[in-house]
Amino acid sequence: MVIWTFVSIGTFLRASFGHHRSRHKLVNTFFTSNADKITTILSDNRDADIRLTELIRDWEKKQNHQLDYIRFLIKTGPSLGLIGTLIPMGKALSSLSDGDMGAMSGNMLTAFTSTIIGLLCGTVAYLISLQREKWLQADFLRCEAQAEILLRDAMEAEKVRGKSIPV
């Protein structure tokens, strides 16, 4: 769990530097990789806005999938910390009844350390998740705005040709 947290921090920092250098890269990648589909949707004229929205929502769903492992860590970190607390605490109580204060203090130290580590892992994962969700939300909004521009341009082009796009 701790290793996973450090890997998540490293991945987040790398993504953070990359995100600040190329803010629109994800949106541009979406439009270039789906250029044929978008052209087909816009040229078909039937429910273009709905079909374009569906394409974007499918892409958003795939992008949100990236957050699943960090969300898993948010929930499992504190849970594993609690488990790591209860097991040594049972041993500590047993040591107390035997009068072995040294073993009891060692087990209590382990119990509280695992609690702190579990909470720390969960908190770090939560903060990473918050920032990544903000980035993705901003990318989704940029993507939707770009799609609206494409749709508007297609409608204006159809008006010039004398056709209309049903919306």
Buried-exposed string 70-105: b where 16+ CB fall within 10 A, e elsewhere: beebbebbbebbeebbeebbebbeebeeeeeeeebe
Q: Is 52 a domain residue?
A: no
Question: How much is the pLDDT for 27?
Answer: 84
Tell me: the pLDDT tens digits for 116-165?
Answer: 999 999 999 999 999 999 998 998 999 999 999 988 888 888 777 765 55
Question: How much is the pLDDT for 131?
Answer: 92
Pair 48, 165: CB distance under 8 Å: yes
pTM summary value: 0.74
Number of domains present in the structure of the chain: 1
Question: How much is the pLDDT for 28?
Answer: 84
Q: Is 77 a domain residue?
A: yes
Tell me: the pLDDT tens digits for 46-87?
Answer: 788 888 999 999 999 998 998 898 999 999 999 989 998 899
Range(s) of the domain holding residue 137 = 57-162
Q: Is 36 a domain residue?
A: no
Residue 7 or 124, more confident:
124
